[in-house]
Amino acid sequence: MHTQPVIKTDPKTSFVVAQTVTWLLAFSNRALALTTAGISSSVASSQCLEYRVVGICFWLFCTSFGCEVRTSTKVRHFIPELVVSSYADTGGSAWTELAVLSSPIAGSEGGGNLITPNPLRDNLPRFKNVDGIGHPGGAAATQLASQSGYACPSGATAFMPYYLSTLDPLGWRYGIPESVYPESLVPGMREVGSQANGEMWGNVYPRQGFLVQPDDFKAGAVMAQRAGDFITRSGQPHVYLPLTPAARDGYWPPGPIQENDITTHKWQLLYPQLQMTCAIFPSEALQSEDGGYAWSLWRPYSCCKREGQTFMFSIDFEGGDS
C-alpha cells in the first residue's frame, strides 16, 4: 500500500510567495502603462507620417553679380504634435510620468462616470478629464521624414502642457459658455461621425467633459476631439495655450483640426494599446479597463528648403498655388 507524501508548507514561505506574486502583478500592470519612451517609439509609422512631394518653391537668389531664380522641392508630411489623454479619474492620466500635472485641485476634484440605475437605457453620462501635452517624438518624426528628403520642423514644443482640464473647470466641467452656442443646440452640427451611416459618436459642442454615450472608448475619443478642436484654434473660451504655429516663407503649418476630415489631422492610439497606424474618428473601438485612453494627434505640414533671400511663390503639383 502506497501513501502519498505529505508536503508541509512553511507559513513564512507562503507569505513570501504571495507577496512576490502580488509584486509581479503590480509590475506587469505598470509595464503596460504609457511611458515617454513608448510614446517616442510610436512615431516610426510611415502610414502616419505620409511623406509626399507636393510641389516646387521658387526663390530669388541675389549676389553682387546679379540675381537668379532658384527652386526647391515642396514637401508635405504629418507630425505628431500632441499627446491627448482622456481619462475618468482626476489625476489618472495614462501617461504616468506626467500624470502629476493634472492632479486634483480646488474646483476640479473627483471624476468618473455618472451611471444611471436603469441598464435598459443608453443615457449614461460619462465624464472624462483631458490633457493635451506636447508630443516628445516630434523631432524624431521630423528626422524620420528627412530620410526621404527635406522635412518640416514641428510647431509644437515637447512636454508643453497646452491644455489641462483641471485648470479649466468652468469650460470643461460646466460647459460655460458653450452650452448655449448654436453648435450645442442644433442637432446635426459639428458631430463626430455620421448619423446617416449609423456611426455618430457624439457632438463636438459643447466642448466639455460630459457626454451621453454608452461606449466608453467612443466617449473618450469625442473628448479628445473636443480638446484638440479648441487647442488648434485661437481665442476660444477655455484656459489653454493655443497650438497655432505661424506661417513664414517656405513654411506652411496646419490649420485647425476638423472632425471627419483626415486632411486636417490623424489620431494614433497609444493607450490602452499602442498602434502603429493612424485614422480619424470614428475608428475601431478598443475598451480600456481603467477608463483611460491616449492618442497622438498628427497634423500636416508643408515646407521647402530656402534657396534664396526672397520667396517668390510655390506651385502645387495638384494645381494649387501657395
Q: For 196-207, what is each residue's pLDDT tens digit?
A: 888 999 999 999
Look up residue 171 and give its DSSP letter.
Answer: H
pLDDT of 72 higher than 80: yes
pLDDT of 9 higher than 80: no
Which position has the higher pLDDT, 22 or 291? 291
Integer-rounded Cα Rg, in Å, for the chain is 24
Alpha-carbon gap, residue 190 to 178, rounded angstroms:
13
pLDDT value of position 109 = 75
CB 74 within 8 A of CB 305: no
What average pLDDT does range 100-119 have in this prediction? 73
Amino acid type, 211: L
pLDDT of 62 higher than 70: yes
Collect all residues with Cβ–Cβ distance below 8 Å to 312 and sequence separation of at least 6.
Answer: 58, 59, 60, 69
**Residue 29, in any domain of the structure:** no
Give the model's confidence band at 268: pLDDT under 50 very low, under 70 low, under 90 confident, else very high. very high
CA angle 132–134–140, rounded 5-degree value:
140
Residue length, the chain?
Answer: 322
Instruction: Show the domain range for 214.
Output: 35-316
pLDDT of 125 higher than 80: yes
Alpha-carbon gap, residue 86 to 319, rounded angstroms:
40
What average pLDDT does range 261-265 have in this prediction? 97
Among residues of the chain, what percentage have pLDDT more than 90?
77
**Residue 282, in any domain of the structure:** yes
C-alpha cell at 267: 489620431
Q: For 22-54, what is each residue's pLDDT tens digit?
A: 333 333 343 468 999 999 999 999 999 999 999
pLDDT value of position 104 = 86
pTM of this structure: 0.86
pLDDT of 272 higher than 80: yes
Alpha-carbon gap, residue 241 to 155, rounded angstroms:
13
pLDDT value of position 141 = 93
Which position has the higher pLDDT, 114 or 101? 101
Q: For 199-241, what is each residue's pLDDT tens digit?
A: 999 999 999 999 999 999 999 999 999 999 999 999 999 999 9
What average pLDDT does range 273-279 have in this prediction? 97
pLDDT of 20 higher than 50: no
**Residue 322, in any domain of the structure:** no
Average pLDDT, the chain: 87
pLDDT value of position 319 = 47
DSSP string, 20-77: HHHHHHHHHHHHTSB-HHHHHHTT--HHHH--EEEEEEEEEEEETTEEEEEEEEEEEE
C-alpha closest to that of 80 among 300, 286, 249, 283: 300
pLDDT of 94 higher than 90: yes
CA 3 to chain centre: 64
**Residue 231, in any domain of the structure:** yes
pLDDT of 148 higher than 90: no
**Residue 174, in any domain of the structure:** yes
C-alpha closest to that of 131 among 211, 240, 16: 240
pLDDT of 107 higher than 90: no
What average pLDDT does range 266-285 have in this prediction? 97
Domain count, the chain: 1
Pairing of strands 66-87, 129-134: antiparallel
Q: Which of 110-119, 132-141, 160-169 has the lowest mean pLDDT?
A: 110-119
